[in-house]
């Protein structure tokens, strides 16, 4: 499951990408999406992982999962980092590692954690796309934001996998493999 660059993809990564393309094809969509919704999730570690960081904003010691999904909740890019990596840096790494499969993306939707002009400029450089930020209007009130619930529901689905509610893996590559396997399982149920 070692992945050093796009040429050395893991088998799970290849299977997941082919499965996403297949589902898009049977739904009469282009194989590559033109719209992505990105988000990250901080996940607590058990005592076994070697690689971990501390997310001071959420007060979580562990890892951070970065995902990019289309409007049909299909994952197009996944990245695992230590929790001390901010959302923007993790998203840049995720998009850069998957730019071959994301070449047709025209717009990316993110939450307030992606607000930064240099982030938008970097996405323009990598993919040539625009970044749209959805912000909450009221700080301490729960409001469902348009299109943001799609990526949040993807996180909720993978948290139903017993092995993923906490990070139990020693290496980030193993955590990535478990996340990809969970998405493969979820997508196979949809076919």
All domains of the chain in start order, with CATH: 6-135+142-190 (3.30.420.10)
How many Å apart are CA 132 and CA 112, to the nearest integer? 10
- In this predicted structure, what is the pLDDT of residue 1? 44
Least Cα distance to 148 among 186, 114, 104 occurs for: 114
- In this predicted structure, what is the pLDDT of residue 106? 95
Least Cα distance to 124 among 108, 109, 144, 146 occurs for: 108
- In this predicted structure, what is the pLDDT of residue 2? 43
Helices (H) and strands (E) in the chain, counts: 5, 6
- In this predicted structure, what is the pLDDT of residue 178? 94
- In this predicted structure, what is the pLDDT of residue 127? 94
Q: In the chain, which residues have pLDDT < 50?
A: 1-6
């Amino acid at each position: 499951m070692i992945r050093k660059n796009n040429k050395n993809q893991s088998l799970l990564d290849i299977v997941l990408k082919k499965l996403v393309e297949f589902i898009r094809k049977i739904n009469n969509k282009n194989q590559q999406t033109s719209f992505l919704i990105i988000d990250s999730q901080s996940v607590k570690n058990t005592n076994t992982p070697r690689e971990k960081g501390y997310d001071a904003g959420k007060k979580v010691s562990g890892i951070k999962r970065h995902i990019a999904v289309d409007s049909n909740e299909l994952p197009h890019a996944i990245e695992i980092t230590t929790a001390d990596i901010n959302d923007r840096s993790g998203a840049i790494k995720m998009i850069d590692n998957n730019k071959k499969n994301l070449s047709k993306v025209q717009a990316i939707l993110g939450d307030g954690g992606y607000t930064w002009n240099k982030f938008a400029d970097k996405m323009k450089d990598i993919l040539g796309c625009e970044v749209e930020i959805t912000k909450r209007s009221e700080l301490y009130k729960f409001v469902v934001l348009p299109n943001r619930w799609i990526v949040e529901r993807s996180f909720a689905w993978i948290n139903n996998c017993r092995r993923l509610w906490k990070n139990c893996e020693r290496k980030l590559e193993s955590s990535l493999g478990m996340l990809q396997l969970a998405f493969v399982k979820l997508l196979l149920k949809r076919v």
